[in-house]
Amino acid sequence: MNCGHPLGAVVESGREARKVVTVVTAVGLAQGQLGNLEEADRLSAEAVDVAEQTDSLSAADSWEARAPVLWMLGRRDDMVQAATGARELHVAKGSVNFLRRLDRFLADVGPARAQPTS
């Protein structure tokens, strides 16, 4: 399951992909929260690329985690696109609780809320 990214080279099965995506998604989001935005951007993008090769909720989760990283980077349009993609995947899977969490995030970063500063 090599999707052209370094992570893809180590992923050989869907189950393995979900594990890798879960860890890399969490680390990418944590890096963003620590202010390491370049690393957060790289990791969250790689997690999305690997997750898209699976049919699990990993793809929705990775897009959902990428959205706040993009928001931290000040890339609002990309953030909305990532969040919308995550929302569509959650809808397709019928993941009501995940939809509620994502909708809360979108409400929190709505147009009235200022973007973070680096």
- List the domain range (segments joined by +) for residue 11: 6-108
- Residue bearing tokens 């594990």: 19
pLDDT exceeds cutoff 90 at 7: no
Instruction: Please report whether residue 114 resides in a domain.
Output: no
Q: Can you tell me the mean pLDDT for 49-75?
A: 87
Instruction: Please report whether residue 117 resides in a domain.
Output: no
The tally of domains found in the chain comes to 1
Return the pLDDT at 70.
95
| Mean confidence (pLDDT) of the chain | 81
CATH code (residue 25)? 1.25.40.10
Closest by CA position to 62, among listed 27, 101, 22, 105: 22
Instruction: Please report whether residue 25 resides in a domain.
Output: yes
What is the per-residue DSSP string for the chain?
Answer: ---SSHHHHH--SHHHHHHHHHHHHHHHHHHHHTT-HHHHHHHHHHHHHHHTTSSSTHHHHHHHHHHHHHHHTT-HHHHHHHHHHHHHHHHHHT-HHHHHHHHHHHHHTSTTSPPP--
Return the pLDDT at 55.
66
Instruction: Please report whether residue 71 resides in a domain.
Output: yes
Return the pLDDT at 112.
42
Q: What is the pTM of this model?
A: 0.76
Q: Can you tell me the mean pLDDT for 20-32?
A: 89
pLDDT exceeds cutoff 70 at 6: no
